[in-house]
Structure 1
Amino acid sequence: MSAVVLALAAGAVIGVALGALGGGGSVLAVPALIYLLGFSPVGATTAGLVIVTLTSATALLAHARDGHVRWRTGLLFAAAGIGPAMLGGALAARVPAAVLTGAFALVAAAAALRMMRSAPAAAGAVPVRQARAAGAGAGLGAVTGVLGVGGGFLAVPALVGVVGMRMRNAVGTSLLVITVNSVAALATRAATVQQLDWAVVGPFVGAAILGAWDAKRLAAKVTGDTLQRIFAGVLLAVAAFMLIDALL
């Protein structure tokens, strides 16, 4: 199967994850780029940021139109994460590939388990605690920069568990966080971006954008509890696969 066909198939899956779940794009894109398309870990994390930035921005527009984006909280998360994201991006090239893969897997597994234990927030969510929200945003930014992930797969659990946001609002708001954090992380990777194989990355991005747009309509028909469980299950499966690969 050609690289372009694989990129189109993988991009569609990543787009569906972002559009329906508000995250999981990079945590799926990075393994796909490494294991299906032969990218190096550093190249895959950079390409993942490009793919997720463009796809998230598109999906954000659709969720905002339906009123599922909490702009103030999302911008607080994003602002707190910009500095750590840029610092993490600068340090990423110095991290050994096996360590990068193993860390990626452990972070994904922790987020999945947290989501499985947390019930979706009720309509009357607790008020946002600014310090906790900012702290969570800074942590997300650091993970975004080092591991090359948009942060949505961690932002959603944080917005549900720390902020007390309902799942649908957490999905939409996480896309704002992903977009801002990914742009900040990419700012430190200009040299790596220039070296990407755009004949593969371009089709990947196109398929992801289309998948995200269609998935938004699908997500509207699924309950928040179901979305949360699907999100956690996908993360846990990917984390197990990558951790095994890092240890072997």
Structure 2
Amino acid sequence: MTTLILALGCGAAAGLVLGALGAGGSMLTVPALVYLLGFTPAQATTAGLVIVAVTSLTALVTHSRAGDVRWKAGTLFAVAGIVPAAVAGLAADRLPQPVLTAAFALVAGFAAVRMLRAAFAKPSASCEDGESAGEGPSEARTATVAASGGKPEAHPGKAAATGAGLGALTGLLGVGGGFLAVPALVTRLAFPMRAAIGTSLLVIAVNALASLAMRGSAASSLDWATVVPFAAAAILAARDGRRVASRVSGRLLQRAFAFMLLAVAGLMLIDALS
């Protein structure tokens, strides 16, 4: 009974964060599975991918209905990262765990700093709520917005190149990738925060499913009596997370997400060096 309650509580927390921020699910799921529910790191990574994949897909539907998913750029972004993620995943098996943990922490810290710079920059008069500061619409951007029904699409080449780089990092670090996808979509592709959150769910789902395809045999040995209630609670809580996101300004979400990244980066760096 205690295990079931822990699984439900941890799942609800992970789902709420994933639904509200479009990221962070695996950062809560994997530690909870290891330190609270007794999974080995290998089991936790595989179970985390299962949980994050199904939760992301559910949350993606909700964000899509709200118009917060950029399907064209998001699909390019996600698909371009599949092969690099697989190759990097093979390389990760040959690296010491402290090196991977330290790399994870440094990348997360770098992404957090970039997000904070954008979130605290003084907005221009033309900035919409949730957009990066100082980004007034140029003529080309305005034309792109008009052609896409009011939703600017990123340049395909830039989306694919950024997605490939993210896929490599995701495969190397073994996470869904939302904590990197959201900053990349905001800072590299100039997405408003809410669109970045919604689109990142597509990226997370694709990355998680691609990683699971490489771990099919490991999934069969999971403790499904724990994984299923964890995932069910996460799915239900992700809907509430979307409601939270709809009531909070894009800049506030950026700041909350960045500070969460800094905290995770600090804790992981301490763990790698200890």
Output the TM-score relative to the length of structure 1: 0.92
How far 1:170 moved relative to its partner?
0.7
How far 1:32 moved relative to its partner?
2.0
Measured in 2, the distance between the counterparts of 1:220 and 1:70 equals 17
Measured in 1, the distance between the counterparts of 2:96 and 2:223 equals 22
2:232 corresponding residue in structure 1: 206
Alignment map for 1:172-187 (pairs within 5 Å) = 172-187=198-213
Measured in 1, the distance between the counterparts of 2:227 and 2:65 equals 28
1:154 correspondence with 2:180:
yes
Measured in 2, the distance between the counterparts of 1:85 and 1:134 equals 13
1:216 corresponding residue in structure 2: 242
2:267 corresponding residue in structure 1: 241
CA deviation string 1:168-220 (max 9, x = no partner): 11111111111111111111111222222222211211111111011111111
Greater shift in the superposed pair: 227-236 or 42-51: 42-51
1:106 corresponding residue in structure 2: 106
Q: Is the 8 A contact 1:123 1:166 kept in 2?
A: no
Select the residue among 167, 171, 186 that pairs with 1:141. Answer: 167
Q: 1:37 to 1:102 in 2, by over 3 A?
A: farther
1:18 corresponding residue in structure 2: 18
1:193 corresponding residue in structure 2: 219
How far 1:96 moved relative to its partner?
3.2
2:29 corresponding residue in structure 1: 29
Letter in 1 for 2:87: L
Unmatched 5+ residue regions in structure 1? Answer: none
Measured in 2, the distance between the counterparts of 1:115 and 1:102 equals 20
How far 1:34 moved relative to its partner?
2.4
Measured in 2, the distance between the counterparts of 1:128 and 1:62 equals 22
Q: Is the 8 A contact 1:26 1:148 kept in 2?
A: no
* 3-state SS in 2 of match to 1:165: coil
Select the structure of larger CA radius of gyration: 2
Output the TM-score relative to the length of structure 2: 0.84
Q: Is the 8 A contact 1:47 1:201 kept in 2?
A: yes
Letter in 1 for 2:32: A
Measured in 1, the distance between the counterparts of 2:30 and 2:136 equals 35
Q: Is the 8 A contact 1:144 1:182 kept in 2?
A: no
CA deviation string 1:76-131 (max 9, x = no partner): 10111011122233444444333333333222222222211123425848562333
1:78 corresponding residue in structure 2: 78
Measured in 2, the distance between the counterparts of 1:174 and 1:77 equals 9
Letter in 2 for 1:8: L
Letter in 2 for 1:113: V
Measured in 1, the distance between the counterparts of 2:256 and 2:6 equals 23
Q: Is the 8 A contact 1:16 1:214 kept in 2?
A: yes
Measured in 1, the distance between the counterparts of 2:105 and 2:42 equals 15
Q: Hey, which bits of structure 1, 4+ residues long, moved more than 6 A?
A: none
Q: 1:123 to 1:64 in 2, by over 3 A?
A: farther
Q: 1:88 to 1:2 in 2, by over 3 A?
A: farther
Give the fraction of aligned pairs with identical amino acids, expressed as a percent. 59
Alignment: residue pair count:
248
CA deviation string 1:125-164 (max 9, x = no partner): 8562333221210122122223221111111111110111
Measured in 2, the distance between the counterparts of 1:102 and 1:47 equals 23
Q: 1:28 to 1:108 in 2, by over 3 A?
A: farther
C-alpha RMSD of matched pairs (Å): 2.0
Greater shift in the superposed pair: 37-46 or 20-29: 37-46
Unmatched 5+ residue regions in structure 2? Answer: 120-130, 142-152
* 3-state SS in 1 of match to 2:68: coil
Measured in 1, the distance between the counterparts of 2:230 and 2:95 equals 26
* 3-state SS in 2 of match to 1:68: coil
Measured in 2, the distance between the counterparts of 1:48 and 1:20 equals 18
Letter in 2 for 1:38: G
